[in-house]
Structures are given as C-alpha cells and as structure tokens.
Amino acid sequence: MKIIMLGAPGAGKGTQAKRLAAKYNIPHISTGDIFRANIKNNTELGNKAKVYMDQGLLVPDELVVDLVVDRFKNPDCANGYVLDGFPRTIPQAEALDKALANNQDAVEYAIDVDVPDEVIIDRMAGRRACLNCGATYHTITIPPKKEGICDICDSPLVLREDDKPETVKKRLTVYHEQTQPLIEYYSNKGILKSVDGTKTMDEAFEEVVLLIEGN
C-alpha cells in the first residue's frame, strides 16, 4: 500500500499519515526524517544533501527523489509506505513517478485532506506550544488543564510564529501556488482520494480507511 498524503499546512495530513502507518504497519516517511538519517549515517546521498542545507539552499529535486526512492529499498517498506510532505510540486511528482517506474513501481493512492483556508487559519491560531518540553495544545480542542501553562512541565505556553495568522496566510499562498496543482495531477492519474478535513480527526480517519479499503 503506497500512499502520498496531500493537504495544506494545518489540514491534519501528518496526523492522518501517522495513523495510517500504524494501522497498516507501514512506515510514515517524511523528507526531513530521510535527510536527518542520511546525514547522521554519513551516506553519499546525505553528504550531497548536507552541502546544500549548510548553505541554506533547497536540496535539488533530483537529489530529494534519489533519497526518497533509496528509502523505499529498506525492508520496512516491503508492504508499502505513507509519504508525507513530498512531493510538493509537479516537477517533483513527475520525477518521483519516473524513478518509481524505473523500478516497476508506482504510487497507489494520493489522499487529499481538504480544509478551507479560513478553517486552517482559525485552527492554527488556537495552537499553543511549550518551548521547554515540546508539548502542543489547542485552546479549543486540546486545552491545557491550566490556561497558558503546560500540563507536563508547568512552563508557559506560546503561540509560535509559524502559527500566527499572518504567517499561516503566507504559507497557504505558497501551498496554493506550488502544491495544490498536485491534486489535479493525481486526479488525472485516477489515484486521488479526497477527505473532508473539517471533520474530527477520528471521523476523517474513518473516511480515509473507507476510501482505501473500498477501492
């Protein structure tokens, strides 16, 4: 079961990706994890990526695809994987498809967690984080026991820069320009499944499972 997760920042695709990985006993793969593992293990691909990252440059698409496809060779991917946060653009998707086809392989499902921008902005504005222990909360859906204070370590909770409305709007603009075209791309391939991300996490997950298993 080879799955790509799509959705705007804050749509909840990461949470759904982890739950799918746990349900089907396949790895949840993000490019950030791949970069860190390859750099830590001092691999040839990791060293190539590090040259760009150390300069604050984006890692070229071809190299990212090489790293992703190399990750698929690990034994834990024998039954599939959930790819989260990649591809982000049409050229990346095309490069990934080409690399997989060279191995007689292909993605089976592209799952779009669909949430309107205004809902995402409201959601992210309610997020609160503990900078001390890393715990995260939401003022409405996962409030701390004591307002503004972390349940775990009693440190103050903050609204991160990434979650402020003005930052979220900028991130959504980039998403619509670069990543949203992937929805049409995978729809044309006949593998797109769209779920209503405004539902609760449990309801959305049930919908994803039904879409996969009902295919």
Positions marked active-site:
13, 88, 127, 160, 171
DSSP 59: P
Cβ atoms 59, 35 nearer than 8 A? yes
Q: Is the dihedral of CA 105, 108, 112, 113 positive or negative?
A: negative
Element holding 122 (H helix, E strand)? helix 117-125
Phi-psi region of 129 (alpha: psi -120 to 50; beta: other; left: phi over 0): beta
**Tokens found for residue 102:** 């060279």
Strand ranges (E), 57-130: 81-84, 109-114, 127-130
Cβ atoms 157, 144 nearer than 8 A? yes
